[in-house]
């Protein structure tokens, strides 16, 4: 995989707006509803995210950070091919995708229609444009926006029974109108590829699958790929190497003791990041978790 300099303008990113502490209603919402998404944590993240010429996200997920960070060059990776196909299709065929996705939302808002779309999606019946529209539809119509796959790589989340799921028109139009699309390169693969591409004055923001807390099972394979502590260790090793090449590092994770020890032992500064857990279907049962954000600058 090669990463050209086409997405690296000579002028450095002007991201002074990140230095203001903003409330949630001042940020642009991402296109996807995403488990572990960082929209509500953006004020804390932007306190720690430094300036740089390019933002690299090895785990882009729902995209709340790059959508609001204001970098003039973004290298964005995720192991979820369906997610990256959506972003790439939105770049290439933005208005066609918006129109088609809207038809999905209008025509298929029932349990039976959801299952039909999910089956076609899993069976490879769609071209890339229809696949992208179906992925957005499934994300917004499934239970609580949980994007999860079985061992066969099939999307297996059930119907969410929402009366009128949100269609993210404004979010997609902002992606196109704000030139985020122009400044972004999307790739799909293991996190190592984009981290190894990092160099001087790049900023890497990592939001990996969180390490389970002691005495909990956790769940770290939403994309059909498990993420073990050995992967956390490999990730940190790659980040330390990137830092030696001049990159600046910001990473989030759970407050698990082995994660704190791993980060501190490799020179990271660790800060608290209270976060709302949002998988529960009832707002009253959603908990505040003692997550962390760590930097290597």
Count CA atoms closer than 13 A to 261's CA, side-chain side.
5
**Helical (H) or strand (E) element with 188:** strand 184-188
Select from 264, 257, 254 the least CA-distant residue to 295: 264
> How far is 210 from 227, CA to CA, in rounded Å?
9
Find out whether 78 is annotated in a ligand binding site: yes
> How far is 7 from 183, CA to CA, in rounded Å?
6
> How far is 104 from 119, CA to CA, in rounded Å?
14
Find out whether 163 is annotated in a ligand binding site: no
> How far is 59 from 193, CA to CA, in rounded Å?
12
Residues in the chain: 297
> How far is 23 from 46, CA to CA, in rounded Å?
12
- Contact call for residues 222 and 113 (beta carbons, < 8 A): no
> How far is 152 from 149, CA to CA, in rounded Å?
8
Binding site, by residue number, is 34, 38, 78, 207
Q: Which residues are annotated as a binding site for S-adenosyl-L-methionine?
A: 34, 38, 78, 207
């Amino acid at each position: 995989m090669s990463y050209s300099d086409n997405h690296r303008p000579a002028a450095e990113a002007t991201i002074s707006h990140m230095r203001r502490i903003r409330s949630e209603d001042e940020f642009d919402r991402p296109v996807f509803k995403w488990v572990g998404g960082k929209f509500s944590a953006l004020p804390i993240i932007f306190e720690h995210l430094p300036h740089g010429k390019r933002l690299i996200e090895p785990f882009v997920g729902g995209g709340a950070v790059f959508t609001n960070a204001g970098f003039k060059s973004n290298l964005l990776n995720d192991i979820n091919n369906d997610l990256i196909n959506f972003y790439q299709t939105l770049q290439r065929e933005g208005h066609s995708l918006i129109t088609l996705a809207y038809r999905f939302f209008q025509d298929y808002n029932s349990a039976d229609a959801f299952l039909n779309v999910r089956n076609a999606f899993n069976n490879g019946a769609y071209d890339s444009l229809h696949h992208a529209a179906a992925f957005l539809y499934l994300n917004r119509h499934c239970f609580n926006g949980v994007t999860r796959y079985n061992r066969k790589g099939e999307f297996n989340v059930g119907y969410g029974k929402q009366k009128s799921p949100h269609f993210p028109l404004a979010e997609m139009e902002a992606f196109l109108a704000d030139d985020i699309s122009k400044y972004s390169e999307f790739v799909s693969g293991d996190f190592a590829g984009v981290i190894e591409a990092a160099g001087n004055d790049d900023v890497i923001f990592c939001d990996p699958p969180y390490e389970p807390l002691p005495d909990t099972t956790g769940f770290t394979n939403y994309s059909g790929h498990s993420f073990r502590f050995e992967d956390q260790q490999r990730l940190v090793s790659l980040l330390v190497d990137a830092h030696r090449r001049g990159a600046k590092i910001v990473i989030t994770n759970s407050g698990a003791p082995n994660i704190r020890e791993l980060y501190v032992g490799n020179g990271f500064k660790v800060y608290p990041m209270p976060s709302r857990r949002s998988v529960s279907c009832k707002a009253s049962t959603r908990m505040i978790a003692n997550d962390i954000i760590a930097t290597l600058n």
